[in-house]
Chain A
Amino acid sequence: MKNIKTIFSVLLLVMSLTACKDDKSNNEDDLAVYQCPMKCEGEKTYTTLGSCPVCKMDLKRIEDSKIVSSSEISDESIFNLTTKWNTEEGKTIQLQDLKGKPLVMVMIYTTCKAACPRLVADMRNIEAKIPKDRLKDLQFVLVSIDPETDTPERLKAFAIENLMDDEQWVFLQGTETGVREFANVLAVKYKQITPLDFSHSNIISVFDSGGELIHQQEGLGVDNKETISTILELIK
């Protein structure tokens, strides 16, 4: 009879442990920041509710989206994606590891003969317009939509071949669902046509250092003026 009880309790225990295992970081929402709505004291912020010492107006809570400095990430941030990626250097990272610099992102695949070389050229054209000494403040990210073919080694070779092996470039290999999820955040559509060919939309996306989408440039060889001014604004 004791046996049954033991078995029963063990099973109960196992049953209660079936939640997904990806609950790493419970963001503490109680790190609220308040600021005078008139900004009498410029960007000065307070951690408690109260009134502005200058104009006496009630302090207002600053929306999470404006906070990019601390460990907090906003609801709209791509850093909420927790999938793992391999870089061309063979490191395993999460998108969150790219936090801190504005990101310029594009989705490509290395066996692509038509649009991707032009997309890659578009990325390089953008890079060329950024002052050399500011490049270290930016991260250009190329995400492969063909994780099966585009191994870290292959991505590294591609980087060298296309003169994109400097620090500011990073290439990412994900998992099939990870890539699909990422594409859905960027609203990039793609479909495998043959084992080595995909049709995909050509979009270059710019994110601020907190991972929020700021700007998207759609199409090939299009005027990149707006994209560049957005980036320059971000690294000002």
Chain B
Amino acid sequence: MKTVLRLTICFLIICFTEVNCQSKMVSIKGGSYTPLYGRDSLQVTIEDFQMDVYPITNLEYLEFVIKNPKWQRSQVKKIFADGSYLREWKSDIVIGDSISLNAPITNVSWFAANAYCDCMGKRLPTIDEWEYAAMANETMPDARTLETYNEYILSWYEKPKTFNNEIGSTFKNYWNVYDLHGLVWEWTSDFNSVLVSGESRKDVDNDSNLFCGSGAIGATDLMNYAAFMRYAIRGSLKAKFTMKNLGFRCVKNSIK
């Protein structure tokens, strides 16, 4: 009888964590690396952090909007999301027929993604954290110099409609994280901070960053065309924009 009781409790606890939609996370060991656009010192140091294994799915997002009606399509404030927010959905709480429940959620704004992670007690990754985790391939933490690594990403860019593939359908990388490349683009917390427009505090050629051509000259790795595309996309976004192929995942600081 006791074992049955214990088993039931265990089972319920597992259910509970599932229902709480705390999707699985893995640890990413921090370190230093040189991003495409650096800071003054070029090298960026990343602290240890935890990252969602998969991007947030349609199903997970559906649960979120059911519990938080203010993020439903008809309720969302215009300041937080543009007109195409959750456009493919049938209604506020019904996902479209053609969309797989286990495909990554897209057509969400930065505000929505930010609110989702906040609600889960997590946050969006910084650009630096995202890029750090995403420069790994299956076996190496930094595969950016490999031709196969870049080719894989570029061949993804050519594939149509990958946003409707299910999570986990791409490779598991060195950190045990899936789908950083191959499914959707992902929001980052400071997505628009690299290409600083307007007159910046520093008078140094920030304007050149506004233009792909001259911006690329300032980049640290001319070969990393794939990453350059990501920075260009991020620079062109506004926080309330939504895109068919732009989703997100959350991270959280490691407990020290």
The chain A residues found within 8 Å of chain B, CB to CB, are 3-4, 7-8, 11, 14-15, 18-20, 23, 75-78, 80, 112, 114-116, 177, 180-181, 184-185, 187, 189-194, 197-203, 218-220
Contacts and interface: CB of A to CB of B under 8 A. Distances in A.
Given A19-B68, A191-B39, 17 more contacts: A4-B5, A8-B12, A15-B16, A19-B119, A76-B77, A77-B79, A80-B80, A180-B114, A180-B189, A181-B239, A189-B196, A189-B198, A191-B190, A193-B39, A194-B40, A199-B200, A201-B200
A7 B201 CA distance: 59
A219 B206 CA distance: 13
Nearest to A21: B119
B196 A201 contact: yes
B78 interface: yes
Sort A-B residue pairs by CB-CB distance and give the 7 closest, nearest first.
A184-B239, A201-B198, A19-B67, A191-B193, A75-B78, A115-B201, A20-B119
A112 B69 CA distance: 41
Interface string B52-71: 00000000000000011110
B118 to A, nearest CB: 7
Contacts of A202: 198-201
Interface of B: 5, 8-9, 12, 15-16, 19-20, 39-41, 67-70, 77-80, 110-111, 114-115, 118-119, 123, 189-190, 192-202, 206, 238-240
Contacts of A19: 67-68, 119
Contact of B40 (A181, A187, A193): A193
Nearest to A201: B198
Given A11-B16, A20-B67, A20-B68, A220 B119 contact: no
A131 B235 CA distance: 40
A189 B234 CA distance: 12
A199 B201 CA distance: 5
A80 B79 contact: yes
B134 to A, nearest CB: 19
B8 A7 contact: yes
Contacts, number: 110
16 contacts: A8-B12, A20-B119, A76-B79, A80-B80, A115-B199, A177-B189, A180-B189, A180-B190, A187-B238, A189-B193, A191-B193, A193-B40, A194-B41, A197-B201, A200-B196, A201-B200
A75 to B, nearest CB: 4
Contacts of A187: 238
Contacts of B190: 180, 191
A177 B118 contact: yes
A94 B100 CA distance: 39
Contacts of A8: 8, 12
B196 A199 contact: yes
Nearest to A75: B78
B5 A14 contact: no
B187 to A, nearest CB: 11
A135 to B, nearest CB: 28
A181 B114 contact: yes
B230 to A, nearest CB: 16
B188 to A, nearest CB: 11
Given A114-B202, A203-B198, A15 B19 contact: yes
Contact of B8 (A4, A184, A198): A4
B190 to A, nearest CB: 7
Contact of B198 (A114, A192, A219): A219
B17 to A, nearest CB: 10
Given A4-B5, A23-B70, A76 B193 contact: no
Contacts of A219: 198-199
Nearest to A194: B40
Pick from B8, B12, B15, B41 the residue with the most CB of A within 10 Å.
Answer: B12
B55 to A, nearest CB: 20
Contacts of B193: 189-191
Nearest to B80: A80
A75 B79 contact: yes
Contacts of B119: 19-20
Contacts of B240: 184
